[in-house]
Amino acid sequence: MLNQYKHVEVNYLPEMETAVWKIKTEGIPNFTLDGLREFTRFAEDLKIMFTDNSYPLKYLVSCSAHEEVYNLGGDLTFFLNCIKNKDEEGLREYAYLSIDAIYNIYTSFDLSAVSIALVEGNAYGGGFECAMAHDLILSNSKAKFCLPEKKFNLFPGMGAYSLLCRKLNFKTATEILYGGNVYSSKEMFDFGLIDRIEDEKVGIDAVKNYIEKIDRDYNFNHSHFQCLKKVFPLQKKELLEITNIWVDACLKMNISDLRRMELIVNAQNRKLKQTL
Each residue's pLDDT, cut to its tens digit, for the chain (276 residues) gives 577 899 999 999 999 999 999 999 888 999 999 999 999 999 999 999 998 778 999 999 999 998 889 999 999 999 999 999 999 999 999 999 999 999 999 999 999 999 999 999 999 999 999 999 999 999 999 999 999 999 999 999 999 999 999 999 999 999 999 999 999 999 999 999 999 998 878 888 999 999 999 999 999 999 999 999 999 999 999 999 999 999 999 999 999 999 999 999 999 888 776 664
Strands 144-146 and 182-184: antiparallel
- Which helix (H) or strand (E) is 108 found in, with range? none
3-class state of residue 143 by DSSP: coil
| Domain layout of the chain by residue ranges | 8-275
Residue 233 neighbours by CB distance under 10 Å: 9
Phi and psi at residue 22, in whole multiples of 5°?
A: -110, 130
Q: For 252, phi and psi rounded to 5 degrees? A: -100, 0
Q: Does domain 8-275 have CATH number 3.90.226.10?
A: yes
CA 18 to the chain's CA centroid: 19
Dihedrals phi, psi of 272, to nearest 5 degrees: -60, -45
Instruction: Specify whether the CB–CB gap between 233 and 122 falls below 8 A.
Output: no
Q: To the nearest 10°, the Cα dihedral for 101, 106, 107, 113?
A: 110
> Cα(54)–Cα(71) distance, rounded to whole angstroms?
32
CA distance 101 to 107: 10
End-to-end CA distance of the chain: 33
In the DSSP assignment, the letter for residue 53 is T
Taking alpha carbons only, the member of 189, 202, 50 closest to residue 115 is 50
